[in-house]
Amino acid sequence: MASTGRKQEAFSLFISDLHLCDSRPAITGQFLRFLQQQAAQAEALYILGDFFEYWAGDDDLSHHQPILQALRALSAQGIRIYFMHGNRDFLAGEAFAAAAGLTILPDPTLLTLYGKQVLLSHGDALCTDDIAYQAFRQQVRAPIWQQAFLQQPLSVRKAQIEALRQRSEQEKSGKQESIMDVNAEAVTNLLRQYDYPELLIHGHTHRPALHPLEVDGHRIDRWVLGDWYEQGSCLVLDQNGVRNQPLD
């Protein structure tokens, strides 16, 4: 039988920095609608970190059931879902991945999508001027530290995370804005290391923008994803390239 409608072009979606939590139920609602509407039409969804306000360990899965169920339902429809750790949810592990029907990607990850080399990252590792944060990052990303942290009871971990969140907010208020952005040389080094991909997509800085770069004669677009504090935001990638898609 001849098809009546024009087949919609295949596309992938990229989001980050939703910071889902109980105290902002509207964002969770918007995300669940996003899954049913935009994501259901995509071939893949890439969640590039800080999906949750914080993740205390996979033994807290039951806390996030509606979100995990919705992701699993999308995955069951054949939409591939990928997740990269952010600085707030780097403890999300394989039990989380199984419950959400997704695949965890290392940071950074280089992919070929729609004929383009695309480098994906959360973005925090590029903020190399933030010395205090980078020292902290190195400590908590060490497997031995994570093992010891995860051995503590969930309630103890949550109390420590709460203390850390307060300390982080306090320290951030004393940091210069420029320190909390990516370092240009760190970006250049990463792009050289990955052999000049056409696209770099990352989040973390909450400064959504397109930065066209030229590195050693190669044109590279650095796309920064927006957070979901005021409204949802996502990037769409298809054969024609990247475009920004603000959500209602």
**Which residue ranges make up the site for ligand LP5 (CB under 6 A)?**
54, 87-88, 91, 124, 127, 130, 132-133, 136, 140, 160-161, 163-165, 167-168, 171-172, 175, 180
Does 233 bind Mn ion (CB under 5 A)? Our answer is no
| Pairing of the two strands 199-202 and 116-121 | parallel
Say if residues 57 and 49 touch (Cβ distance below 8 Å). no
Q: Which is nearer to ligand LP5, 87 or 121 (CB)?
A: 87
Tokens 């190195």 belong to residue: 138
Closer to ligand LP5 by CB, 172 or 243: give it.
172
Told to check if 204 binds Mn ion by CB under 5 A, we report: yes
Give strand pairing partners of 234.
245
Residue (of 134, 137, 120, 132) closest to 198 by Cα position = 120
Q: Is 226 in the site for Mn ion (CB under 5 A)?
A: no
Per-residue CA distances from 74 to 37, 44, 45, 62, 93 (Å): 11, 10, 10, 19, 19
What residues between 78 and 107 interact with Mn ion by CB under 5 A? 86-87
Min dist CB 27 to Mn ion, Å, is 15
CB of 165 to Mn ion, least distance (A): 13
The end-to-end CA distance of the chain, in Å, is: 37
Distance CA 62, CA 76 (A): 20
Instruction: Identify what 185 binds: ligand LP5, Mn ion, none; CB under 5 to 8 Å per kind.
Output: none
3-state SS, residue 120: strand
Which of the choices Mn ion, ligand LP5, none does residue 165 contact, using the CB cut-off of 5 to 8 A by kind?
A: ligand LP5
Would you say 11 or 133 has its CB closer to ligand LP5?
Answer: 133
Both structure tokens of 240: 């024609």
Alpha-carbon distance of 193 to 126, in angstroms, equals: 13
Subset of 110-139 contacting Mn ion (CB under 5 A): none
Phi, psi at 80, each rounded to 5°: -75, 135
Residue 213 binds which entry of Mn ion, ligand LP5, none, CB below 5-8 Å type-dependent: none
Cβ within 8 Å of residue 239, ≥6 positions away: 9, 10, 114, 115
Residue number, 13 or 161, with CB nearest to ligand LP5: 161
Q: How many residues form the binding site for Mn ion (CB under 5 A)?
A: 4
Minimum CB distance to ligand LP5 smaller for 168 or for 244: 168
Q: Smallest Cα–Cα separation from 84: which of 121, 54, 34?
A: 121
C-beta of 16 vs 42, nearer to Mn ion = 16
Least separation in angstroms between CB 178 and ligand LP5: 11
Q: Please give the residue ranges that form the binding site for Mn ion (CB under 5 A).
A: 50, 86-87, 204
